[in-house]
Amino acid sequence: MRLSRGPNPFVLLFVLIVAPAVSADVAILRTDYYQKTCPDFNKIVREAVSTKQSQQPTTAAGTLRLFFHDCFLEGCDASVLIATNSFNKAERDDDLNDSLPGDAFDIVTRIKTALELSCPSVVSCADILAQATRDLVTMVGGPYFDVKLGRKDGLESKAHKVRGNVPMPNQTVHDIHGMFKKNGFTLREMVALSGAHTIGFSHCKEFSDRLYGPKADPEINPRFATALKDLCKNHTVDDTIAAFNDVMTPGKFDNMYFKNLKRGLGLLASDHILFKNNRTRPFVELYASDEKAFFEDFARAMEKLGTVGVKGDKEGEVRRRCDHFNNLNV
């Protein structure tokens, strides 16, 4: 007897009943997303970040921080770029985002302006921020990682949602990991991403409680503490005073941040506890002794970060200006 080669009706029925439904609005990200619609995308971003970084060397750290703050609230949708208007107080104006640097917003605006001339209404601000972050990280010595593209820009930006979604300098490992965990990150990935503090700076108000008064932290390296006290002595009058996160190689993306933690040179309390905590210390020690391991883990974690909460066509748009929704009444 000859067996039929046609589809098994029972298998088809099983697939129809059991297979999970796939949303039509899931954003499908890929590295060549703009290959046909905006072929100069990579070149435009690369040239803009190169010029900006040479003009303002803190741009890389600022943009990396901006990207992180964007992705951890409502996903990587450029909601952090939205400006406050008479209808809405936006994310960037919450107290926790006050110190997000203007240079990071500026580089996105520069790239968007250039792209609108080359391929109008094609490239999302979310993709610009993701790509610029990668290019800037590699420019200052960090690892290369793939950036998959195709995100849409979010339709909401609410300041009151920031608190509880962005880590704070005085939180415990347990609390910080809780924020990372709900976005799909392991403890090891949390420590790897914390290595972003190998570049950039923090304002004195974010660590002054470790320096002054009865609750001053005795575990800070004494010479480091003395230098910070001198630097920050007028921080209550001038809130722009800041210190480098990595006092040894502040402009280079390397594993010095982790080496510093072992020496009592962690700037923020949330940095120091990574070495103090028994669960996170092994990862700190690994990255301090093996820069290659840190770079590999950081690159994988950044690729993962870039996929958090991405929006599809029905959940987002391609903004004409990165600081405004296309519907200005939103």
Annotated binding site: 70, 75, 77, 79, 91, 167, 197-198, 246, 249, 254
Question: Is 69 labeled as catalytic in the residue annotation?
Answer: yes
Annotated binding site for heme b: 197
CA nearest to 306, candidates 159, 144, 179, 131:
131
The tokens 């790509």 sit on which residue?
131
CA nearest to 77, candidates 142, 37, 125:
125
Phi, psi at 244, each rounded to 5°: -65, 140
The tokens 């435009």 sit on which residue?
44
Within a 10 A sphere around the Cβ of 181, how many other Cβ atoms?
13
Annotated binding site for substrate: 167
Alpha-carbon distance 124 to 119, whole Å? 11
CA nearest to 174, candidates 261, 96, 75, 276:
276
Tokens of 210: 């470790």
The tokens 């979604």 sit on which residue?
165
Annotated binding site for Ca(2+): 70, 75, 77, 79, 91, 198, 246, 249, 254
Alpha-carbon distance 143 to 294, whole Å? 9
CA distances (Å), 290 to each of 145, 187, 261, 301, in order? 18, 18, 15, 17
Alpha-carbon distance 310 to 312, whole Å? 7
CA distances (Å), 282 to each of 170, 180, 234, 292, in order? 21, 18, 37, 16
Amino acid at 83: A
CA nearest to 87, candidates 266, 258, 282, 329:
329
Catalytic residues: 69
